[in-house]
Amino acid sequence: MPSPSNGGKITKIINARILRDHEIVNDSYLWIQDGKIIDAFNSFFKYNREPDEIIDAQGAIVAPGFIDLQINGAFGIDFSDYKDPESKLKKDIATVLPLLQYRPGDAKEGAEILGAHCEGPFISTEKKGAHNQTVIQNAKDGIDALDKAYGPELKKGGKAVRIMTVAPEIEGILDVIPQLVDRDITVSIGHSAATISQAEEGVKAGATFMTHLFNAMRPFHQRDPGMVGILGASDLPEPKQPERHPLPSTTSPCREKTDPRPFYGIICDGVHVHPNSVRIAYYSHPSGCVLVTDALSAAGLPAGIHRLGGRDVEVRGVSGAYIKGTNTLAGSTISIDHCVRNFKKFTRCTNVEALEAATLHPAQCLGIQDRKGTLNPGADADMVFLDDDLNLKRVFVRGVEVELKERNATL
C-alpha cells in the first residue's frame, strides 16, 4: 500500500465529499503522490512531510475517474481508422489493434487506454446492427479462427484486447470463451439471437459481461426471454472468476456471495434504451449495471449528415447517430457523465449507485479494481469533481488537472 515517501510532490485534497467503500464520506481528504492515491494517515510521521500542494474541493463530490467500456470514437475520429502523415493505412483489425493497446493517461494527451473492445466478427447476422454482414463468421476452427481474424495482437491477451464481444450461439464460440478468459480477456455476449439457454451457456463458459443490454439481441418473450432473461437467472453456477462478477445485492441468488450473473452494459441516453427498460434492468440486477456510451465518431459533432468510417451518418435528436436514410442506430453521441446523470434520473438511484455504475463496476468487470474505479490507497489518482446534480466541475488524470473546454450542448 503506497505511503508518503521522499519521492515526488505530495498533493492534498481537502474539503471533499469522497466516494469510498460504497458511500460518500463528508469533509474528507485525499493524499496523492506520483499519480497514485497514498495512505498518509498510517505513515505520515515516518517521513514527516507536509503536502507540497493543497487543493480545496470546496465541498464537491470527488469520485474516481469514469471508465467507458464501449466507445468507438468522437469528434470525427473513428478508433477503427487511422491516417498517418504519409498515407492512409488499410482499415484492418491487425493494423488498428496495435494503436489501441494500453497507454497510460495524461492530463495533456488524454485519458488512459485500457485496451481494445473488439465487437465482432463472431456475432449473429440476425442481430448485426450496423456491422458489415460480409465479414461475419463462425468459430468452427476454434481459437485459430479468432487468431486468424485478429492477428498476433489477440495472442497478447488483455494487454491489447480487453473485451471481446461474441454471440454464444455461433458455432465454436462456447469452446473458445474459456481460452479467451485464459488470455485475460473479458468475454462479453452480445449482437446475438441467443435463446435464454444459449445465453446461460455463454455465462457458464466464462462470459462476465453483456454488450449494450436490450440492443442487438432477441426481445424479451415470456416463454424464452433470450439474453435479457439473464437478469433474472437464479441457478447459475458459482463463477470461475468471482473477482470479475458483481458484488452481491438484494436481488442476488445469495446475498453473501459474489453474484453469478454477469455485468451488463447499458446505453443510458434515453434513445437506445427506454428509461423504463433501464429501470427494469436496474431493479433486477443493480450491482451489475455498467454505463456505456457506445459513442461513435459523430459524438461532439453538430446535427446533420457526416461522412464517417466510409459511410454517411446522420446526427439527430437528443442522442444518436443513424445510418443515413434509415432508422438504424449506428451508435450514440452521448458522453459518459451525461449517462450518469440520466441513470440517476431514470432510476431514482442514489449518487453512489449512479457513480459506481461508471467507475467501480466497469473496473470490476475488467478485473482492475485494485487501481481503477476506487479512490483507495494504491489506486491511480484519476478523479472527477462533481456538484450534487453530478455535473462535472473538475477532472484529474493521475493527479494532474485537465483543462476543460466547452462541449457541444448535445452532449
Give pLDDT tens digits along the chain (411 positions): 555 556 789 999 999 999 999 999 998 999 999 999 998 876 566 667 789 999 999 999 999 999 999 998 888 888 877 554 333 433 667 778 888 889 999 999 889 999 999 998 999 887 776 667 777 899 999 999 999 999 899 999 888 999 999 999 999 999 999 999 999 999 999 999 999 999 999 999 999 999 999 999 999 999 999 999 999 999 999 999 999 999 999 999 999 999 999 999 999 999 999 999 999 999 999 999 999 999 988 898 888 988 776 678 889 887 888 888 888 877 899 999 999 999 999 999 999 999 999 999 999 999 999 999 999 999 999 999 999 999 999 999 999 999 987 644 333
- Determine the pLDDT at residue 409: 37
Residue 126: count of CB within 10 angstroms of its CB? 14
125: its cell numbers: 447476422
- Determine the pLDDT at residue 45: 60
Compute the half-sphere exposure of residue 343: CA atoms within 13 Å on the CB side of its CA: 31
Q: CATH topology for 73-366?
A: TIM Barrel (3.20.20)
The enclosing H or E element of 148 equals helix 143-150
- Determine the pLDDT at residue 274: 96
Nearest alpha-carbon partner for 173 in 149, 137, 209, 148: 137
Domain with CATH 3.20.20.140 in the chain: 73-366
Domain with CATH 2.30.40.10 in the chain: 10-65+378-401
Q: Are 285 and 61 in contact (CB under 8 A)?
A: no
Please give the order of strands across the beta sheet that includes 311-315: 304-308, 311-315, 321-323, 329-331
Q: What residues does 103 pair with on adjacent strands?
A: 113
Q: Are 357 and 32 in contact (CB under 8 A)?
A: no
CATH entry 3.40.640.10 includes domain 10-65+378-401: no
Q: Are 269 and 320 in contact (CB under 8 A)?
A: yes
399: its cell numbers: 493527479
Q: Which residue is listed with cell 485519458?
A: 111
Task: Write down the pTM of the prediction.
Answer: 0.92
- Determine the pLDDT at residue 85: 34
Catalytic residues: 294
